[in-house]
Amino acid sequence: MSIAMMWIVVGIVLILSELLLTSVVAVFLGVGAIVTGLLVHWNVIEQSAIQFAIFGIVSLSLLLTARGQIKRWFSGYSDADHEGKPNFQRDLGARVTVSSDFNHGAGRVTLNGVQWDAFSADELKIGDTAWVVSNEGIQLTVTAKPPVA
C-alpha cells in the first residue's frame, strides 16, 4: 500500500469514527489526512516532515474555522435551553396533536414527535390540537383550550 493510500485510508477511518465519537474533531483530522494523501498521490509533496506539516495545518485550520458551525448543525436537545425546569414541568402548556380519539377521557397525543397516553375532560378527536396542563409520569393531562398567558 502506498503512502498516499495510507493517508487516505486513515482519513476515511477518522471520518467514520466521528459517527461513534460525536465530538466533531475526528472529521477534521480525517479531512486533513485525505488532503495530505491526495497531495502525496499527485506528487505535490514527498517528504514526511512536509506531509505531517500539511496534515497538521489543514486539520487545525478546519478545526478552528468550521468546528463551531458544524457542531451547531448537529446539536440536539439541551437541558440548558430549559432554564433548570424539572423534566415534568418543561412541557406544561405545550401544544400537542391528538393522535387517537379520546374515549371515556383517555386517548393519545403526540408531543415532540413522541406519542403519549393522555387524559382530558374534553371531547378530542384525531387531528385536534390540545395543550398540556399536567404531567403524571408517563401520562399527560390535556385540554382543548390554550393556557392563559
SS3 130: strand
Q: Residues 69, 56: contact at Cβ < 8 Å?
A: no
By CB neighbour count within 10 A (0-12 exposed, 13-18 middle, 19+ buried), where does 25 fall? middle
Instruction: Identify the CA nearest to 129 among candidates 115, 149, 143, 113.
Output: 143
CA distances from 8 to 108, 120, 144 (A): 51, 59, 58
pLDDT in tens, 87-126: 556 788 899 999 999 999 999 999 988 899 999 999 999 9
pLDDT at 60: 95
pLDDT in tens, 21-80: 777 889 899 999 999 999 999 999 999 999 999 999 999 999 999 887 877 776 655 555
Q: Residues 27, 18: contact at Cβ < 8 Å?
A: yes
pLDDT: which is higher, 109 or 84:
109
DSSP 93: T
Domain range summary for the chain, segments of one domain joined by +: 3-73, 87-143
Domain over 87-143 is classified CATH 2.40.50.140: yes
- Is 0.85 topped by the overall pTM? no
Q: In the structure, what pLDDT confidence band is assigned to residue 149 with cuts at 50, 70 and 90?
A: low
Distance CA 146, CA 149 (A): 9
